[in-house]
């Protein structure tokens, strides 16, 4: 699913709420449950798992699709682990990555 394409772009009151929503959405889509923040890092329980894992350890940063969020009037791109996307993403790059992920 593309953020801002198939869903409405979300505006959040704080960065914390934007990060929480981004992580929770990724967890839901990927079957992870009970995401929580511990020592500044997001953790979640993998599908059928009993031990939580760090979200940043399971996402592939090269293929992760950032979520476009607004905090007030400021726009930023967040990755599922709550970090900022480190490069600018063109709309077509995101579409191509999403299509290739859906084919597998």
Q: Looking at the predicted structure, is the pLDDT value of residue 67 above 70?
A: yes
Q: What is the DSSP letter of 66?
A: P
The sign of the dihedral angle between the CA atoms of 86, 32, 43, 34 is: positive
Query: Looking at per-residue confidence, does 43 or 89 come out higher?
Result: 43
Q: Looking at the predicted structure, is the pLDDT value of residue 7 above 60?
A: no
Can you point out the beta strands (E) in 7-100?
10-12, 33-38, 41-45, 53-54, 67-71, 74-78
23: domain range?
A: 10-103
Reported pTM:
0.72
Give tens-digit pLDDT for 10-47: 899 999 999 999 999 999 999 999 999 999 999 999 99
What's the domain count of the chain? Answer: 1
Q: What is the DSSP letter of 14?
A: S
CA-CA-CA-CA torsion for 10, 94, 56, 68, nearest 10 degrees? -20
- Reading the block at residue 3, the tokens are 């953020």
| Structural domain includes residue 98 | yes
- What confidence score (pLDDT) does residue 15 get? 93
- Reported as a pLDDT band with limits 50, 70 and 90, residue 60 is confident
| Structural domain includes residue 5 | no
């Amino acid at each position: 699913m593309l953020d801002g394409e198939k869903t409405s772009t979300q505006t959040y009151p704080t960065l914390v709420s934007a990060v929480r929503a981004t992580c929770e959405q990724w967890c839901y889509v990927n079957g992870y449950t009970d995401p929580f923040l511990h020592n500044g890092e997001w953790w979640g329980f993998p599908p059928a798992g009993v031990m939580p894992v760090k979200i940043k350890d399971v996402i592939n940063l090269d293929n992760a699709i950032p979520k476009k969020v607004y905090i007030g009037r400021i726009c930023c791109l967040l990755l599922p682990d709550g970090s900022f996307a480190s490069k600018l993403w063109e709309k077509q790059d995101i579409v191509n990555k999403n299509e290739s992920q859906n084919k597998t």
